[in-house]
Amino acid sequence: MTKKPFLWGGALAAHQFEGGWNEGGKGPSVVDVMTAGAHGVARQITQDIEAGKFYPNHTAIDFYHHYKDDIKLFAELGLKCLRTSIAWTRIFPKGDELEPNEEGLRFYDNVFDELIAHGIEPVITLSHFEMPLHIARQYGGFRNRKTVEFFERFATACFERYKNKVKYWMTFNEINNQMDTSNPIFFWTNSGVQVKPGENPQEVLYQVAHYELLASAKAVIAGKKINPDFQIGCMVSHVPIYPYSCNPEDMMASEIAMHQRFFFPDVHVRGYYPAYALKEFEREGYKLDITDEDLVYLKKGTVDYIGFSYYMSTVVKADAKNDNRDNIVNGALPNAVENPYIKSSDWGWPIDPEGLRYTLNRLYDRYQLPLFIVENGFGAIDELENGNQVHDKPRIEYLGAHIKAMQTAMDYDGVDVIGYTAWGIIDVVSFTTGEMKKRYGVIYVDRDNAGNGSMKRYKKDSFEWYKQVISTNGASL
Ligand code: BG6
C-alpha cells in the first residue's frame, strides 16, 4: 500500500492513561481538576482538587506503574509507533520554574527506551490538554504572553533531553477545539482559559490563539536548532462541514464554517494570518496584541507535517436554527443539522469513513504537506465475556472502513500520508466525558466509571485483527 515504511501505530495522551498524577514530583494540571461526566452531562472544572470529588484522570489506567507490561503488549500487536504526550507537569510541575524536574524527565527516558527496545518509535505531542494548573490559575493560561515563554522552555527541555530518541513531534493537540467557545472544557484544556462574565469569547479566543500559535512557532524554531532532523507538526481536529444540499446558500454556509477548521492550520503551515481572519478582526474591532516581531516568528516557525484527528463529519444548512445545541456534537455551529445518510455512535458521533478520504484530499490540496492521521477510533461500550473475551465487531468495522478510505486516498488520489495511529489503542479515560465505559482500545482494561476494577488488561477481538492489518501493511483488508 505504501512506498516507504508506514507508521502504523496507536495513540494515547499522558493524562488519559498514565495516572500517577502526584508521583515523581508531578504537579497538578488543568485536567486534574476535572470531574467525571457522562454523555450529555458536562465534566466540572473545580477551583482546586476538592475532597470527596472523583477525578478520573488521577489514576487513569495507571500506565505509570504498568508501562513495561503495556509496552510488551504493544510490541506483540506489532505497533511501529506509539503516539503519546509528555505531561508538562512532570517536567515543570508548576510551569514557571527555570529548571526541569529530573525525575519526570527520567520517567520518559524509561518509557522511550522501553519502546525503542521493542522496535516502537515514540511520536510525541508536547501539549495534550496538560497545562500546569498553576499557569492557568496564576497567569490565566494562554491569555498571558508569559505562557509563550513557559511553553518554549518546556519544549526546549524535551527537545534537548530526547533529541536522540524522538524524531516526530507535535506542538499542541487539537489546538482548534477552542473555536467552539460554547463548551468551557475546550478553552480550559487547550489554553487554561475560562471566559469571564462580560467578555466577548471570540475576542479572547483570537488573543489566546495568537499566543499559542506564537508558542508553537517558537518551539519549532528551537527544535530545529537542537536537531535539524526533527519533524515537527501541528495537530488539529478535523471535522469536515458538509453543505446540506446543492443550494448555493448551503454551499456558502459550509465554506464559511470551514474557516473554523482551517484557521489554525492556515497559520501553522503558511506562517501568516489568512485574509478571512484579518477581515474578521477588523470588522469586529478586536484589539489584539500581535507585534511585528511575532509575525516574523510565525513565518519562521512553520510546521513540517499536519497531524490531525478524524472521527466524524458534520453538516450545515443555511436556514437552520439550532436551538438545542446540547444535542449537537461540535455545537459551535448554530446551523448544524443531522446527516440523514449516516448513522451515529452511542455517543452521537456520526460515523463517516468516506469523510476521511474527503478530508485527506482537502487538506492535501490546500497545504501540500505530508499528513499524519494521529487519531481515529470508535468509542463504544465493550463487555468482558467468559472472563477474558471482548467481541468488538463494530470497532473492527469502523477502523477497517476508515483505513480503507485512507488507502484509497493514498493509492488512487495520491495523498501523502505518513502514518495512522488508532486512538486509545488501550482503553483510557474519555476526554469529553471522563468515562471509562466509552472505550476505544484493542486492549480492554478492567476499570469502571467509578474507578473500580482489577486494572487487568485483556486482548479484544480487534487486537488480532489490527495485528494482521499492520503485519500485512494493510493488505489484509
Ligand atoms: C480527541 C482528543 O478529541 O478525541 C483525545 O485528542 C480524545 O484526547 C479523543 O480522547 C476521543 O474523545 P473522547 O471524548 O471520546 O475521549
Say whether 375 is catalytic. Answer: yes
Domain ranges of the chain: 7-471
Q: What is the mean pLDDT of the chain?
A: 96
pLDDT for res 51:
96
pLDDT for res 322:
72
Q: CB within 8 A of 245, min separation 6: which ones?
A: 317
- Taking CA atoms only, the protein residue closest to ligand 1 atom 10 is 431
Helix (H, G, I), strand (E, B) or coil at 34: strand
3-state helix, strand, coil in the chain (%, to 5): 40, 15, 45
Between the CA of 103 and the centroid of ligand 1 the distance, in Å, is 28
Between the CA of 422 and the centroid of ligand 1 the distance, in Å, is 11
Cα separation of 189 and 163, whole Å?
Answer: 27
Please give the single-letter amino acid code of residue 364.
Y
- Smallest Cα–Cα separation from 97: which of 145, 49, 27? 27
- Taking CA atoms only, the protein residue closest to ligand 1 atom 15 is 430
Map 218-241 to HEC letters: HHHHHHHHHCCCCEEEEEEECCCE
Between the CA of 295 and the centroid of ligand 1 the distance, in Å, is 31
- Give CA angle at 476 (475, 477), nearest 5°: 90
Among 423, 437, 449, name the best residue to mutate to test ligand 1's pocket (greatest count of ligand atoms within 8 A of Cβ).
Answer: 423
Between the CA of 279 and the centroid of ligand 1 the distance, in Å, is 32
Task: State the sign of the Cα–Cα–Cα–Cα dihedral 129, 131, 133, 137.
Answer: negative
Residues with CB under 6 Å of ligand 1 are 13, 16, 173-174, 237, 309, 375, 379, 423, 430-433, 438
DSSP secondary structure string for all residues of 91-153: HSSSS--SS--HHHHHHHHHHHHHHHHTT-EEEEEEESS--BHHIIIII-GGGSTHHHHHHHH
What is the rounded average pLDDT of the residues 277-282?
Answer: 98
Cα separation of 138 and 140, whole Å?
Answer: 6
Between the CA of 169 and the centroid of ligand 1 the distance, in Å, is 19
What number of other Cβ atoms are within 10 A of residue 404's Cβ?
A: 15
Write out the H or E segment, with its range, that includes residue 419: strand 417-423
Which atom of ligand 1 sits closest to the CA of residue 174?
A: 6
- Taking CA atoms only, the protein residue closest to ligand 1 atom 8 is 431
DSSP secondary structure string for all residues of 237-301: E---EEESSS-HHHHHHHHHHHHHHHHHHHHHHHSS--HHHHHHHHHHT------HHHHHHHHHS
- Give CA angle at 92 (123, 189), nearest 5°: 65
Contact 325, 331 (CB under 8 A): yes
Which atom of ligand 1 sits closest to the CA of residue 423?
A: 9
Which atom of ligand 1 sits closest to the CA of residue 424?
A: 10
Cα separation of 35 and 46, whole Å?
Answer: 8
Q: Cell 463529519 belongs to which residue?
A: 313
What number of other Cβ atoms are within 10 A of residue 362's Cβ?
A: 17
pLDDT for res 444:
98
Pairing of strands 7-11, 231-237: unpaired
- Smallest Cα–Cα separation from 224: which of 301, 288, 277, 313? 301
> Side by side, which strands form the sheet with 241-243?
241-243, 314-316, 336-337
Which atom of ligand 1 sits closest to the CA of residue 432?
A: 14
Q: How confident is the model at residue 345 (pLDDT cuts 50, 70, 90)?
A: very high
Cα separation of 221 and 212, whole Å?
Answer: 14
pLDDT for res 4:
67
Cα separation of 181 and 367, whole Å?
Answer: 26
Of the ranges 106-110, 307-311, 332-336, which one carries the lowest mean pLDDT score? 332-336
Per-residue model confidence as pLDDT tens digits over 111-170:
999 999 999 999 999 999 999 999 999 999 999 999 999 999 999 999 999 999 999 999
Phi, psi of 149 (to 5 degrees): -65, -45
Between the CA of 238 and the centroid of ligand 1 the distance, in Å, is 12
Per-residue model confidence as pLDDT tens digits over 400-425:
999 999 999 999 999 999 999 999 99
pLDDT at 369 over 60: yes
pLDDT at 323 over 80: no
**Under CATH, which architecture does the 7-471 domain have?**
Alpha-Beta Barrel (3.20)
**How far is Cα of residue 312 from the mean position of the Cα atoms in its chain?**
14
pLDDT for res 40:
82
Q: How confident is the model at residue 321 (pLDDT cuts 50, 70, 90)?
A: confident
Cα separation of 53 and 425, whole Å?
Answer: 28
Contact 61, 458 (CB under 8 A): no
Q: CB within 8 A of 425, min separation 6: which ones?
A: 9, 10, 11, 12, 74, 77, 79, 82, 440, 441, 442, 443
- Taking CA atoms only, the protein residue closest to ligand 1 atom 2 is 431
Cα separation of 34 and 56, whole Å?
Answer: 8
Helix (H, G, I), strand (E, B) or coil at 444: strand
Between the CA of 67 and the centroid of ligand 1 the distance, in Å, is 21
pLDDT at 1 over 80: no
Of 152, 212, 375, 435, which residue is the catalytic one?
375
Please give the single-letter amino acid code of residue 215.
A
Which atom of ligand 1 sits closest to the CA of residue 438?
A: 15
pLDDT for res 326:
52
Contact 331, 394 (CB under 8 A): no
Of the ranges 144-148, 343-347, 425-429, 462-466, which one carries the lowest mean pLDDT score? 343-347
- Taking CA atoms only, the protein residue closest to ligand 1 atom 7 is 431
pLDDT at 297 over 80: yes
CA contacts within 13 A on the Cβ side of 319? 4
What is the rounded average pLDDT of the residues 300-314?
Answer: 98
